[in-house]
């Protein structure tokens, strides 16, 4: 496999030869931040285009076709429109919190994005608490949504924010339990090591039944965590106009929009990292020739392929299932997913202790 | 040179924390005070990360930023309109507050001055998850299984109590 650390080390050596080590680190930090933000935005644009096309396919339409070939430039046109729109300030609202809220949401999303392993050595944040840090950074995005709903001085926004808060906090529990199941199986929390351990078989095959159950629960809870249909009650347009971001305009709304799409990407990427091997190619222990052929496909292609496959499944959910009622959302989580997740964790622990894993 | 960088990071973080802390106690809007408190907690997490104590830093973000502050916001939203204006009711109370914070500062400074610190930062690789897990769940000397269990029972009691209060008759 191609190791991206050769490129990063070369850049590091080059910078260190030009300036003192401390300045080199600062320059590297700025470079990494710029690249991460650029990748974040580019993925968001790809996702928005994909959402429109997938939605159109499920509704037997063509989707955007006018701007550019197959409507490829439609999203760029929309981004440009959003950038030149006026940012409206709301009467009798807390303008400081109103302006801060979208940045909190984006900050949480970008920090989580930085933990993703795109290919071997191509990962911004990687330390021994990787999975835990990932959960920590994704947990304060809900605060931005709550503040947005409250500071908009609008009852619909407030209801949307409360729904979103209740939903995201409770579904985080299921996500945590599913991650714990994988951590129990692997015995590590470092993301690069998690991927490395899947070199002979992906965790979904290694952990067989409990891992598959955890994968399914993770997909459901992840879908709820991103506030998308069938869990899009925080912005149920027929009840609450647009939920917590009703009052936002221009790029402030754009931040919420981008963060929502990127959270979907992050959920799918984590699912592919924890269960489907991340950038690790499909390896079957014993079949050496097959494994070698698979190694010729670069890691980043594997990672993005798996991630976009899961994104496609989640979009399929979105455009197929009807929205849940508000009382069904907590019922599903607290009466079904959490107990199943807990029992599943127990089964996985028993499997690991007895050595019933592959 | 590396020494200076860590000093710069420390000063930036602590200045941010002090400014946010002062803003949190002087702000008259309770929702804003909570948000400033969030910045203080982020700054603390940043300090832990700069000392390579990644576990405590991540815990700080999960428990305080993602848990406690969200809980505060929820409570504020549920009990009021979120814009309760905090006004200083009396001079006496104001003076008592100043006295309390000054004595807190004095005690902290005294402890910092008299304590001998073993190391100023941890191993860059951090404490391994295995060591942490064994320390929390171990039964040997300097292990914390009893504390862990007592805290679990306390939290369980809180949850049962909350359900009992919230339950319909």
Q: What percent of chain A has pLDDT over 70?
A: 99
Residue A45 CA to residue A205 CA, distance in Å, equals 33
- Of the two residues A160 and B16, the one the predictor is more confident about is B16
Counted across chains A and B, CB pairs separated by less than 8 A come out at 86
- Residue of B66, B76, B130 to mutate for A, most A C-beta atoms under 10 A: B66
> Helices in chain A by DSSP H: which ranges?
5-18, 21-58, 74-83, 95-113, 130-139, 141-151, 155-186, 191-196, 203-206, 208-225, 237-240, 250-274, 288-295, 299-320, 328-331, 338-354
Residue B15 CA to residue B22 CA, distance in Å, equals 11
Residue A159 CA to residue A234 CA, distance in Å, equals 8
Quickly count: other Cβ atoms within 10 Å of residue B161's Cβ.
Answer: 10
| B52 lies in the same domain as B84 | yes
Q: Which stretch of A5-9, B18-22, B84-88, B97-101 has the lowest confidence by average pLDDT?
A: B84-88
Across the interface, of B31, B66, B70, the residue whose CB is closest to A97 is B31
Residue B81 CA to residue B73 CA, distance in Å, equals 11
**What is residue A95's predicted lDDT score, i.e. its pLDDT?**
81
Residue A235 CA to residue A140 CA, distance in Å, equals 19
Residue A169 CA to residue A105 CA, distance in Å, equals 15
Residue A203 CA to residue A196 CA, distance in Å, equals 11
**What is residue A29's predicted lDDT score, i.e. its pLDDT?**
86
**ipTM at complex level:** 0.82
A80 vs chain B: nearest CA distance in angstroms? 32
**Tokens 């009852």 label which residue?**
A155
Closest residue, chain B, to A141 (C-alpha)? B66
| B74 lies in the same domain as B147 | no
To the nearest whole number, what is the mean pLDDT of chain A?
86
Query: pLDDT class for B149, splitting at 50, 70, 90?
Result: very high
A93-108: per-residue pLDDT in tens? 778 888 888 998 999 9
What would the two tokens of residue A107 be?
Answer: 């900050």
> What's the rounded mean pLDDT across residues B8-20?
91
Domain range for B51 is 2-127
Domain contains A13: no
A45 vs chain B: nearest CA distance in angstroms? 28
Across the interface, of B2, B73, B82, the residue whose CB is closest to A22 is B2
Domain count for chain A, please give it: 1
What would the two tokens of residue A149 be?
Answer: 């709903």
**Contact call for A143 and B66, based on CB within 8 A:** yes
A8-35: per-residue pLDDT in tens? 888 888 888 888 877 888 888 888 899 9
Quickly count: other Cβ atoms within 10 Å of residue A28's Cβ.
Answer: 15
Residue A115 CA to residue A128 CA, distance in Å, equals 12
> Helices in B27-144 by DSSP H: which ranges?
30-50, 54-59, 69-79, 91-114, 129-137
Q: From chain B, which residues contact A within 8 Å (Cβ)?
A: 1-2, 4-5, 29, 31-32, 35, 38, 54-55, 57-59, 61-62, 65-67, 69-70, 73-74, 77, 82-83, 125-129
Domain contains A31: no
**Apex B135 CA angle, B132 and B136, nearest 5:** 85
Q: Which stretch of A138-152, A169-183, A228-242, A318-332 has the lowest confidence by average pLDDT?
A: A228-242
Residue A172 CA to residue A222 CA, distance in Å, equals 8
- Residue of A143, A149, A163 to mutate for B, most B C-beta atoms under 10 A: A143
Query: For residue A242, which of A225, A268, A260, A224 has the smallest C-alpha distance?
Result: A260
Contacting residues of A for B129, CB less than 8 Å apart: 128-129, 188-189
Residue A101 CA to residue A150 CA, distance in Å, equals 10
> What's the rounded mean pLDDT across residues B36-50?
90
Torsion, Cα of A48, A51, A54, A59 (10° steps): -120
- Residue of A133, A176, A189, A191 to mutate for B, most B C-beta atoms under 10 A: A133
Domain contains A17: no
Domain count for chain B, please give it: 2
Q: From chain A, which residues contact B within 8 Å (Cβ)?
A: 20-22, 25, 94, 96-97, 100, 127-129, 132-133, 135-137, 139-140, 142-143, 146-147, 150-151, 158, 162, 165, 169, 188-189
Domain range for A283 is 84-354
**Contact call for B1 and A21, based on CB within 8 A:** yes
Length of chain A: 358
> Phi/psi zone of residue A63: left (φ > 0), alpha (ψ -120 to 50 degrees), beta?
left
Quickly count: other Cβ atoms within 10 Å of residue A17's Cβ.
Answer: 8
Domain contains A68: no
A192-213: per-residue pLDDT in tens? 888 888 888 888 888 888 899 9
**Tokens 């009840």 label which residue?**
A239
Residue B146 CA to residue B150 CA, distance in Å, equals 6
Q: Which stretch of A41-55, A201-215, B83-97 has the lowest confidence by average pLDDT?
A: B83-97
B37 vs chain A: nearest CA distance in angstroms? 13
- Tell me: pLDDT of A136 over 70: yes
**What is residue A161's predicted lDDT score, i.e. its pLDDT?**
85
| B68 lies in the same domain as B22 | yes
Domain contains A112: yes
Quickly count: other Cβ atoms within 10 Å of residue A125's Cβ.
Answer: 19
**Contact call for A94 and B29, based on CB within 8 A:** yes
- CA distances from residue A4 to A8, A122, A200, A299 in whole angstroms, order as listed: 7, 6, 21, 10
| B22 lies in the same domain as B81 | yes
> Helices in B51-87 by DSSP H: which ranges?
54-59, 69-79
Provide the CATH number for the domain around residue B69: 1.20.120.1200
Domain contains A29: no
Domain contains A27: no
Closest residue, chain B, to A189 (C-alpha)? B129
| B103 lies in the same domain as B156 | no
> Phi/psi zone of residue A121: left (φ > 0), alpha (ψ -120 to 50 degrees), beta?
left
- Tell me: pLDDT of B82 over 60: no
**What is residue B89's predicted lDDT score, i.e. its pLDDT?**
67
- Residue of A22, A146, A161 to mutate for B, most B C-beta atoms under 10 A: A146
A254-286: per-residue pLDDT in tens? 888 888 889 999 999 999 999 988 888 888 777
| B59 lies in the same domain as B11 | yes
| B82 lies in the same domain as B132 | no
CA dihedral (A275, A260, A55, A224) positive or negative: positive
**What is residue B161's predicted lDDT score, i.e. its pLDDT?**
92
Closest residue, chain B, to A188 (C-alpha)? B129
Q: DSSP for A47-106?
A: HHHHHHHHHHHHTT-----SSSGGGTTHHHHHHHHHHTS--PPPTTS-HHHHHHHHHHHH
| B30 lies in the same domain as B108 | yes
**Contact call for B67 and A139, based on CB within 8 A:** yes
| B65 lies in the same domain as B134 | no
Across the interface, of A100, A135, A143, the residue whose CB is closest to B69 is A143
Contacting residues of A for B125, CB less than 8 Å apart: 127-128
| B6 lies in the same domain as B42 | yes
Domain contains A54: no
Contacting residues of A for B69, CB less than 8 Å apart: 140, 143
| B89 lies in the same domain as B167 | no
b/e string for B67-105 if b means 16 or more Cβ within 10 A?
eebbebbeebbeeeebbeeeeeeeeeeeeeeeeeeeeee
Q: DSSP for A275-316?
A: TS-TT-----TT-HHHHHHHHTS-HHHHHHHHHHHHHHHHHH
- Residue of A96, A127, A173, A225 to mutate for B, most B C-beta atoms under 10 A: A127
Q: What is the pTM of this model?
A: 0.88
Closest residue, chain A, to B1 (C-alpha)? A22
**What is residue B121's predicted lDDT score, i.e. its pLDDT?**
61
Closest residue, chain A, to B41 (C-alpha)? A140
| B11 lies in the same domain as B67 | yes
Contacting residues of A for B5, CB less than 8 Å apart: 22, 25
**Contact call for A162 and B77, based on CB within 8 A:** yes
**What is residue A90's predicted lDDT score, i.e. its pLDDT?**
79
Across the interface, of A133, A140, A150, the residue whose CB is closest to B31 is A150
Query: pLDDT class for B86, splitting at 50, 70, 90?
Result: low
What residues contact B43, with CB distance under 8 A and at least 6 apart? B13, B14, B16, B17, B20
């Amino acid at each position: 496999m191609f190791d991206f650390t050769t490129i990063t080390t070369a850049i590091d050596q080059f910078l260190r030869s030009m300036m003192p080590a401390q300045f080199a680190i600062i320059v590297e930090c700025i470079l990494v931040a710029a690249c991460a933000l650029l990748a974040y935005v580019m993925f968001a644009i790809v996702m928005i285009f994909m959402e429109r096309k997938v939605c159109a396919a499920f509704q037997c339409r063509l989707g955007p076709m006018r701007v550019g070939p197959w409507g490829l430039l439609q999203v760029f046109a929309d981004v440009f429109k959003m950038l030149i729109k006026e940012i409206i300030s709301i009467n009798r609202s807390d303008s400081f919190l109103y302006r801060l809220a979208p940045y909190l949401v984006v900050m949480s999303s970008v920090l989580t994005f930085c933990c993703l392993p795109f290919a071997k050595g191509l990962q911004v944040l990687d330390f021994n608490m990787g999975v835990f840090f990932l959960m920590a950074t994704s947990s304060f995005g809900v605060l931005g949504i709550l503040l947005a709903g409250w500071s908009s001085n609008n009852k619909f926004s407030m209801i949307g924010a409360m729904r979103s808060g209740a939903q995201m906090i409770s579904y985080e529990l299921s996500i945590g339990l599913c991650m714990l199941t994988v951590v129990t199986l692997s015995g590590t929390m470092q993301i690069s090591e998690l991927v490395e351990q899947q070199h002979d078989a992906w965790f979904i095959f290694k952990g067989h039944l409990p891992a598959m159950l955890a994968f399914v629960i993770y997909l459901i809870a992840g879908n709820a965590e991103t506030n998308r249909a069938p869990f899009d009650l925080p912005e149920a347009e027929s009840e609450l106009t647009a939920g917590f971001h009703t009052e936002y305009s221009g790029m402030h709304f754009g931040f919420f929009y981008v963060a929502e799409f990127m959270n979907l990407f992050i959920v799918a990427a984590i699912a592919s990292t924890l269960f489907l091997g991340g950038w690790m190619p499909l390896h079957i222990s014993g079949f050496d020739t097959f494994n070698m052929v698979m190694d010729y496909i670069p890691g980043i292609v594997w990672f993005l392929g798996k991630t976009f496959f899961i994104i496609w499944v989640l979009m399929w959910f979105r455009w197929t299932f009807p929205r849940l009622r508000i009382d069904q959302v907590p019922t599903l989580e607290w009466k079904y997913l959490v107990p199943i997740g807990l029992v599943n964790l127990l089964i996985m622990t028993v499997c690991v202790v007895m050595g019933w894993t592959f | 040179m590396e020494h200076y960088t860590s000093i710069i990071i420390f000063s930036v973080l602590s200045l941010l924390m002090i400014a946010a802390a002062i803003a949190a106690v002087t702000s008259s809007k309770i929702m804003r005070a909570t948000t400033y408190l969030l910045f203080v907690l982020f700054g603390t997490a940043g300090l832990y990360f700069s000392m390579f104590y990644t576990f405590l830093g991540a815990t700080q973000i999960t428990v305080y930023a993602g848990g406690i502050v969200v809980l505060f916001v929820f409570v504020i939203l549920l009990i009021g309109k979120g814009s309760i204006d905090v006004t200083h009711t009396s001079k006496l109370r104001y003076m008592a507050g100043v006295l309390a914070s000054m004595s807190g500062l004095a005690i902290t400074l005294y402890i910092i001055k008299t304590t001998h610190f073993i190391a100023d930062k941890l191993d860059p690789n951090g404490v391994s998850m295995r060591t942490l897990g064994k320390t929390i769940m171990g039964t040997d000397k300097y292990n914390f299984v009893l504390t862990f269990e007592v805290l679990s029972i306390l939290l369980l009691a809180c949850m049962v109590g909350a359900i009992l209060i919230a339950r319909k008759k």
